[in-house]
Structure 1
């Protein structure tokens, strides 16, 4: 009887571990989750992620980082170790510029705009939104937002802003709220 009970317990523990692992690897939920930090990202990088991991994913052709107050330059390795209070980075990813902010090694802001039309599909948000998608597509993927020219979605820690020109996504920005 004791062996049967142990086998049953082991089965339930294993089942729970597998289910948790599978749910953690799944894509976005059916609706926008404003509390999920991965919702605030593009191309696999997201707010709160370590800068080294983000740079390994993005593989920019060029990246320059400078503290916005001291004007000191920083390397990815320095920032990954937590150096830099308010570091801004300008990245060249293909033909497109991306701006990011880093605080103590973590991404706190991701900004993208001015993407050439031919590169639009190269930049997808966690939900699959790309540059030049319509306002209707944004609403389908994220739900109803606030405003018309700049649609805003907010969680308790993060905000997402989407800007439009001629009813098409022209830019977006993901930010961590100040504490």
Structure 2
């Protein structure tokens, strides 16, 4: 082998290693909060815009009930996954914690969480890594500067994130599509 071919092989290996590192770094949110990225608005592996069937397979609730907010008709995950339902509210029971979701045409349009027991807080992390009862400083570190003090709001053109603070701790949050 010539020096030139060895150099070419080393250059390709370095490029491959660089690309591998870049791809693995993109597996989770990194850098600054992107208010236009729907995957920034989620908890426990589910996020706004995701199909309800996929979300249910990820979060695996102990119990789930869905009802149309206007007609009071019950809905199944399968029906919603096919695109049925304009304004369906779901109450998901995750062991002893309730997670509320809204679904429109099979997609999550709202995710709400509060009333989490302190010992379960780490289980309910946002997709940026913010756990229930984390400090206001941790909220700023992960999401940047938001609007408000007791209710901190982050807005993109299509999505909104609201975090409720009590005694400098995150005690509830809500992600909504506009």
| TM-score bucket of the superposed structures, by smaller chain | 0.7 to 0.9
Q: Secondary structure at the match of 1:133?
A: coil
Q: What is aligned with 1:134?
A: 135
- Structure 1: 5+ residue runs without aligned partners? 1-10
Q: Runs of at least 4 residues of structure 1 off by over 6 A? A: none
State the TM-score, normalized to the length of structure 2: 0.87
Q: What is aligned with 2:58?
A: 57
Q: What is aligned with 2:34?
A: 33
Distance 1:57 1:25 in 2: 20
- 1:24–1:30 Cα change, 3 Å: closer
Distance 1:166 1:25 in 2: 34
Distance 2:132 2:25 in 1: 27
Distance 2:100 2:117 in 1: 16
- Structure 2: 5+ residue runs without aligned partners? 1-11
Q: Offset at 1:29?
A: 2.0
Q: What is aligned with 2:109?
A: 108
Distance 1:140 1:152 in 2: 14
Distance 2:46 2:120 in 1: 18
Q: What is the total number of aligned residue pairs between the two structures?
A: 161
CA root-mean-square deviation: 1.6
Q: What is aligned with 1:160?
A: 161
Q: Offset at 1:166?
A: 1.1
State the TM-score, normalized to the length of structure 1: 0.86
Distance 1:129 1:46 in 2: 14
Distance 1:134 1:24 in 2: 26
